[in-house]
Amino acid sequence: MTHTFNSESYAKLLAQYQPKTITTEEENERAIALATELEHRKSRTPEEETLLELLVTLIEKFEEAHYPIPQGTPHSMLQHLMDVRDLPPSALVEVIGSKQAVFEIINGTRSISKAQAQTLADFFKVDISLFL
């Protein structure tokens, strides 16, 4: 059965929850709680789905402004992944191909080639763009 969007029902949801631009941490937490509640409903109505999309957009906008993800270099990303997994440089020799290449990449004296980036991405199970 296909549900059609009901503007009256959506207006009631908007009046009940009153979503708006999020400006504080408290508002963000309330929006996250509501979005989580909507997300876990077994069968959302089209109106609830639209409200959920709106809330996610508002939450993302707030969090992008207040919690920006710093951009790192391919070398710093590699170092971070190694640190998180407590991997010594020697663990990457088989992945990269040679001990010298590993140490030059980690030290930043050698760029990561596209082939090495793909191998590292596969090894760490991350997107290749982290290393390019």
pLDDT in tens, 86-108: 999 999 999 998 899 999 998 88
- What is the pLDDT at residue 90? 92
The widest CA-to-CA distance across the chain, in whole angstroms, is 67
> Residue 85 is encoded by which pair of tokens?
């997994």
Q: What is the pTM (predicted TM-score) of this model?
A: 0.55
Burial degree of 104 (CB within 10 A; 0-12, 13-18, 19+):
middle
**Can you tell me whether residue 48 is helix, strand or coil?**
helix
**CATH class of domain segment(s) 74-131:** mainly alpha
Q: Name the DSSP letter for residue 3.
A: P
For 111-127, what is each residue's pLDDT tens digit? 999 999 999 999 999 99
